[in-house]
A and B are shown apart, each in its own frame.
Chain A
Amino acid sequence: MAEHNYLSEFELMLLLTILRLGNDVYGVPLSRELSILRGREVAAGSVYAALERLETKGLVASTLGESTPERGGRAKRYFRVTEQGLRAVHETRRVLSKLWKSLPSVRGDFA
């Protein structure tokens, strides 16, 4: 049986935002974009907790970048969606689309 990686709502949003911003994106633009899209502040700690979870699942990969003075000498960490992550996004989209299509009576209300 194929192994499924179930994504939470926030994890799916994160993966889509990384894809939207292009691969190799780091925490600051990711948090800002998520805040804009969601319409409310996103805690950077939650973003990193979710990214770490996704990395453990193999859905994102990260590389350490350069240190800059404005970061107090701390290195950036760039994230990109892996092949497995991309498959998980498509699978989630397929399941969600199927579920939405199976609700004919309310489909119009939410459109």
Chain B
Amino acid sequence: MKTTVSVPVATWLLEHLTFGNHRESLSGDLMEELRSGRSAGWYRRQVVAAIVTGVWTALRAWIPALVFSAGWSMLYPAWRTISLRWIPHAVPEQWLALSWPWTTVLELACGIVPAITFIWIGFLVFLVFRKDVIAQLSPLRLIGSLSASLNVLLLATLALVHHLKHPEPGLLCVTRENFYLVVHLYNVSVPLAMSIFVAICRVLPHAHKPPRKRRLARAWIDRLTLAKTRAHERISAPEELASQPPEVAKLAPNTFLPA
């Protein structure tokens, strides 16, 4: 076995800046190649290529979602006009007769509900055209996506209220017809587009990542397996042990050392 060149920064970058379910295996493959005689330069080039490929793959998966979100948000003025006609009929008369603070809550709801329904309809329209996404969609992930879109909308709403610097009570400015169109890029409503985009990104297959608990469990299993393998090696070939790289030796517990 040839001498291993230490490449901790490149390894860290590889494990934190690449996407997908196979990054651990990719990292292991590159480490194996490095230890079989490849140069540190080769390793670093492979890491850069893996990061660039990963970013490009992720972008390629997100571009349709981004375009759809921007396009859909442009329809908001039309939706707002339709919903303004519909909402007064949908609110029961006894609710209108309620006193404060329910009147304020109702006004806020009338301002936000059209935006939420608009985002969720957009999200569902996107799903209709992506059968591959629907096939892998679990109810939990769907709820998570809808919830994420709500969170983004809430943050955008607070940011917009702050941006407008409306005199108290500031929150009531959400009832303004053009509230979500205040921050825009040409005709694209940035807050609404962001909200739809986040919801879609949460359900895209490329966004899947193994749960943290499973990753931690995997890491511990790997460490134990490694320690076991090392223990066998120490027993069978103790002289070869001295030539092992320090990071491998660090992972193996001293308790496995033969007496």
Chain A residues at the B interface, C-beta cutoff of 8 Å: 26-28, 31, 43-46, 48-49, 51-53, 56, 62, 64, 66-77
Contacts and interface: CB of A to CB of B under 8 A. Distances in A.
Interface-central residue, B23, B31, B233, by most chain A CB under 10 Å: B31
Nearest to B244: A69
A45 B25 contact: no
A61 B46 CA distance: 24
B18 A45 contact: yes
Contact of B26 (A27, A68, A72): A27
Given A43-B49, A69-B230, A77-B22, 10 more contacts: A26-B25, A28-B29, A43-B46, A45-B54, A51-B22, A53-B57, A72-B31, A73-B222, A73-B251, A74-B24
Interface stretch (B32-40, B64-72, B181-189): B32-40
B51 A75 contact: no
Given A48-B20, A73-B225, A28 B32 contact: yes
- Could you say which interface size class chain B belongs to? 35 or more
B20 A74 contact: no
Question: Which residue, of B23, B57, B218, B251, has the highest number of chain A Cβ atoms within 10 A?
Answer: B57
A31 B143 CA distance: 40
A48 B49 CA distance: 11
B53 A43 contact: yes
Contact of B248 (A31, A43, A53, A72): A72
Contact of A52 (B22, B52, B244): B22
A74 B54 contact: no
A72 B11 CA distance: 11
A98 B50 CA distance: 36
A22 to B, nearest CB: 18
A56 B19 CA distance: 14
A72 B27 contact: yes
Contacts of B244: 69
A69 B229 contact: yes
16 contacts: A26-B25, A28-B29, A44-B29, A44-B46, A44-B49, A48-B20, A48-B23, A51-B22, A52-B21, A53-B57, A56-B205, A70-B31, A70-B32, A72-B247, A73-B222, A74-B222
A31 B22 CA distance: 15
